[in-house]
Structure 1
Amino acid sequence: MMYEFPRLTAHHIQTTDQPVVTSTNEMAKERLKVKDQPFLISARQQTAGHGKTSRKFYSPAGSGAYFTLALPFSYLAKSAGQVTVTAAVAAYEVLSKQFTVPITIKWVNDLYCERKKVVGILAEMEMTANNQPRGIVVGWGINLAAPTAPLPPALQLRAGWLGTTSIDDHQRLQIVDAVAAHFLDLLANASWKHILQVYQAHQYLINKLLLVDTGAERVRGYFDHITDDGWLCVQTDNGPRAFMTGTVRELV
């Protein structure tokens, strides 16, 4: 029986679930060019899933939930930076209730469990030919259970899993429905103060020595705090520095 996405249906979101796609984000960006209503694309497997800076996101069938919610610009009530933080909080709040493992949020858009990444989130703005914002696509890749095939060597020490038993399509789509709908609820009804408090309180980077890479520079320093705008503040040898975007790596 086809899953009906009851929570997303209540939000009037059109849904599509595919067995295999290249990337749900890339499909959503193409479809957003011709659609002016919000929609969601999910898949059992991605062959070209990717995260920030085009890093490949391993997306085997039967192992995770891979999905993208596309929102036309007129539907956005928060800034793009706040959307990314809200997407992380939505995943954290839903998954923390469904799984018993400890989950934390790693600035800016990952969830970790026991020092390994279990959720990747990628929010991308889609622009018109006139360089005006058309909308935003928000993609989640959630590692639900370890695949039966061996992991690529590069992921064996970095990828984690929320559960130990395999999942079926119904369970996968229940999680897709719950996370995406909770994200929409937070966008519409939650204050930025509440969202930020959750994001700050469950931050993975607390007390850690970090290397922040902005693309233009690399900065080493200790985690200090997350600002009221969702920026990362680190304490360097030359004083505090705040970063709006970038990638961050823990130094041992």
Structure 2
Amino acid sequence: MAVGFRLEIFCFATVYLTIRTAGLSLPLSQAVDSPGPLTTVSLNVSNPAPVGLCTSSLIWTGRTAFDAELTQNCYQAWRTFMATDVATYKNTEFEFLQPGDEGSHPRVPKMVTPRRYISKSCTIAIANIAEIPRGILPGEPPGPFPRSDLGRFVNFRAPIAAVRADCLGVRREVGWAMIGRQQAMAILMFTTQAAIDRMIPRGVIPSNLLNTTTGAVGGLDTAQ
């Protein structure tokens, strides 16, 4: 019995050494991917809710601390959004597009993006993902994204509220959420004058006084 047992051990050891010597590797399905090279955009990403993603990247925050002032300013930016575009256009459906684009829906009124709602240190912006540089949005889907999308301002309230509550309120971060019928647009909340503020077009700043827009680019285009 002892001889037979030692023979089995010898055979097992021989097979094991043969596999090691041959340099056989695990199947691809079991292989462990090595980390890729670091990119110039380093994002701290977390998913607070199905509608949005949070980040503490300096590209979004600059050097501003997450304090009560930033929280209050983001709340005021939210109120500006509610008092301007939501109050003015309510349930009207628009095609949101970049300046100069004709769009894909000739019978739908047009709304130029980005649209910025600013209160001191906090900016909330609506933009088409196609006009945001790649790699800036944490958790960004692969795309490609159409240059325009359909949406209603009233339907943008919940995503903004989720980013403000979950990212800023709970995680002390800023963030964004996908919106639009094709999910080709973004609601962004970031620190005013942070790097991302300069990476996206200036767009327009809605006004609740004139029910029009101010800024470098025009506002509502009602051409049919």
User: Could you say whether these structures have the same fold, taking a TM-score greater than 0.5 normalized by the shorter chain as the test?
Assistant: no
Give the greater-gyration-radius structure (CA): 2
Structure having the larger proportion of residues in helix: 2
- Give the structure-2-normalised TM-score: 0.25
